[in-house]
Chains A and B, each alone.
Chain A
Amino acid sequence: MPSTVALSVARYRPEQESEPTFQTYEIPFRKDWVVLDALNYVKDTMDGSLSYRWSCRMGVCGSCGMKVNGTPKLTCATFLSEHMPGPIRIEPLDNFPVVRDLVVDLTDFVRKLKQVKPWIVRKEEKPLAEGEYLQTPAELEAYKQFSMCINCMLCYSACPIYGLEPSFIGPAAIALAQRYNLDSRDQGASERLKLMSEDDGIWQCTFVGECTEVCPKHVDPAGAIQQYKLSGATQWVKSLLLPWGTR
């Protein structure tokens, strides 16, 4: 293995340039370094002006998502050695406005996430005295996979539908809606379905499937959306055949 590697990093400094450019940093190659370590090395020793987000460096916080050689990745979980001999191209996530260098603005997602009501909706809360809502291991299993989402936005970056139709609610938000729909304690599925059946909901998805490919937590948002479509369509047929049977 060579002793150094070139990082080609997208820079965008709005006060001095109108569109992003690439800057190359030659850094020492260490096989135990992930891309985030390399960026930290650049920021600490070579160029303190480089901007990017990170926090936990262990695949939990979901803030260090960037494109590494064209693919959306958590930079804390992507080893330099996977991309040797380089140069390694590091860019901000696609489909979001770039604030600076590798930092993108996620306001749009946060707004959409709130719309899908990612919390347990109850028609009526039971009194505290009756205790907690109990759940069997099988009931937990039904939604657990979808609850692993860390909002890292790699799926939005990989989704061409979101790129073409920015009003699309998008993979992570729909997977999280499905996470609550499948929760035995939740009663908000019909409220969520109303939003999801609209133009920007589940039917925008054409099942490209890349959201699932890039997901670092194996949430499978593409699966969640297709399952949502199936249950939505079933619900619709039921309401057509038995108008008195559904609410």
Chain B
Amino acid sequence: MGYTVKADPHYTLYHPRWYRRRMSVWWWLHNRAYAFFVLREITSVFVAFTALLYLWQIRALIQGPQAYEQFLARLKTPLFLTLDTVAFLFVLFHAITWFNLTPKAMVVRMGGKRVPDWAIIGVNYAAWIVLSGAVAFLLLRG
């Protein structure tokens, strides 16, 4: 026989009667954890949006005071206020879930013992607060 045996999960040659389920396009609605995961994946769009907004801001800054005024005025339109609020919430969601996931990837051992998850998460939050504080200080100082 001229058959070649392929080690492929969808291979059916000798088992035409095995039942193979196809995953629904709506698989992520089947359970809350999947929906949460997809929501987290979607946050990337808003993270990208926020980054683009900063790039746009820098460009306006380079183009001079008038362009920057125009940029600021545009940010105050209802469209951008709504977009910014939504983006902010998604970025916050992204940051918090990201911090909470870090101990999964980082196993730190000190004195022969594994550093507990809350400590690793805590260090992340502490760094976040310190950096945000430093940025706020730089901006609000003068």
Contact = CB atoms under 8 A, between A and B. Distances in A.
Mostly helix, strand, loop or mixed at chain B's interface?
Answer: loop
Nearest to B24: A163
A160 B27 contact: yes
A97 B18 contact: yes
Interface stretch (B29-37, B52-60, B76-84, B124-132): B29-37
A19 B104 CA distance: 39
B112 A210 contact: no
Contacts, number: 72
A15 B7 CA distance: 25
5 contacts: A14-B17, A105-B15, A108-B9, A207-B101, A227-B105
A226 interface: yes
Interface residues of A, number: 35
B141 interface: no
A163 B20 contact: no
B105 A206 contact: no
Contacts of B105: 223, 226-227, 229-230
Contact of A99 (B7, B18, B33): B18
Contacts of A185: none
B140 interface: no
A223 B104 contact: yes
Interface of B: 7, 9-10, 15, 17-21, 23, 27-28, 30-31, 33-34, 37, 41, 101, 104-107, 112
A70 B33 contact: no
A242 interface: no
Nearest to B17: A14
Interface string A125-150: 00000000000001000000000000
B41 A206 contact: yes
A206 B104 CA distance: 13
A97 B28 CA distance: 21
Given A226-B104, A229-B105, A230-B105, A97 B9 contact: yes
A95 B19 CA distance: 11
Contact of A20 (B10, B19, B23, B112): B19
A158 to B, nearest CB: 9
Nearest to B27: A160
A233 to B, nearest CB: 10
Nearest to B10: A166
Nearest to A164: B23
Most buried by B among A19, A98, A160, A213: A160
Nearest to B33: A210
In this complex, the member of B9, B31, B106 whose beta carbon has the largest number of chain A beta carbons within 10 angstroms is B9
B31 to A, nearest CB: 7
A166 B9 contact: yes
Contacts of B41: 206
A15 B18 CA distance: 11
Nearest to B41: A206
B23 A163 contact: yes
Contact of A227 (B17, B107, B112): B107
A12 interface: yes
A222 interface: yes
Contacts of B107: 227
